């Protein structure tokens, strides 16, 4: 009936659930992750999980989100290519780590769970995308990048190939930063 009161939430259980979820997803594989196993591993009742999350994907999303780290500003050394390259390298490293294993599962589950998909966009993709666009915006203002391409599109040109490799497994994600140069070639102003 009434939604639970977040202030009365037990922080220990909360922590244990997120931690157990992450560890189990990594060790057993996301596909074999079950709410029951999470509850057992966290020493928690299943109801406590269902009280706060609608699906295991939602838990996993929370678990990886807090592990993806602080959204400090994008690096801004003035050199847009170097900045994008270092950022892309960081993201590629993330996707290749344990976090990537779980993230992959979350994205998979989101394919048939529109609500989860929206949460992924809001919590993970959106904010990081925003930071990237901000940096790109500055490069446009500085006359380094073309002003006639929406930064929204630029972000997709940059990250698209990364996710392509990540989700289709055609190539090693870690090598994706190599592609940055090719993309930038099309985004630069002629005199930069």
4 scored as a contact of its own copies (CB under 8 A): no
**Strand ranges (E), the chain:** none
Minimum distance, C-beta of residue 80 to its own copies, in the bound complex (Å): 14
Tokens 């769970």 — which residue?
113
Residue 115 interacts, among its own copies, DNA, none and using kind-specific CB cut-offs from 5 to 8 Å, with none
As measured in angstroms, the least distance from the Cβ of 146 to its own copies is 8
Residue 87 CB, nearest approach to its own copies (Å):
16
Which of 16, 41, 25, 20 is closest to 103 using CA atoms?
25
Report the residue from 67, 104, 130, 133 that binds its own copies according to the rule CB under 8 A.
104
Q: Which of residues 151-190 bind its own copies (CB under 8 A)?
A: 152-154, 156-157, 159-165, 167-171, 178-179, 182-187
Count of helix runs (H) and strand runs (E) in the chain: 10, 0
Look up tokens 């190539």; give the residue: 171
Angle, alpha carbons 82-88-94 (nearest 5°): 140
- Interacting residue ranges for DNA, rule: CB under 7 A: 2, 4-5, 8-10, 12-14, 16, 32, 34-37, 39-40, 42-48, 50-52, 55-56
CA distance 33 to 36: 9
Which tokens is 74 given? 């994008």
Quickly count: other Cβ atoms within 10 Å of residue 90's Cβ.
Answer: 13
Q: Which residues bind its own copies (CB under 8 A)?
A: 29-32, 104-105, 107-109, 111-113, 117, 120-121, 125, 129, 149, 152-154, 156-157, 159-165, 167-171, 178-179, 182-187
């Amino acid at each position: 009936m009434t939604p639970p009161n977040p202030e009365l939430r037990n922080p220990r259980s909360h922590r244990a659930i997120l931690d157990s979820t992450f560890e189990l997803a990594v060790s057993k594989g996301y596909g074999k992750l079950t709410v029951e196993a999470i509850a057992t591993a966290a020493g928690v009742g299943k109801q406590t999980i269902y009280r706060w999350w609608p699906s295991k994907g939602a838990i996993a999303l929370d678990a990886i989100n807090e592990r993806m780290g602080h959204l400090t500003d994008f690096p801004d050394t003035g050199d847009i290519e170097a900045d994008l390259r270092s950022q892309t390298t960081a993201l590629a490293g993330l996707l290749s780590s344990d976090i990537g294993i779980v993230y992959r599962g979350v994205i998979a589950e989101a394919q048939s769970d529109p609500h989860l998909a929206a949460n992924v966009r809001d919590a993970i993709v959106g904010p990081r995308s925003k930071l990237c666009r901000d940096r790109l915006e500055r490069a446009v203002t500085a006359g380094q990048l073309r002003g006639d391409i929406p930064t929204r599109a630029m972000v997709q040109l940059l990250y698209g190939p990364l996710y392509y490799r990540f989700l289709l497994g055609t190539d090693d994600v870690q090598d994706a930063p190599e592609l940055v140069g090719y993309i930038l070639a099309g985004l630069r102003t002629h005199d930069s």
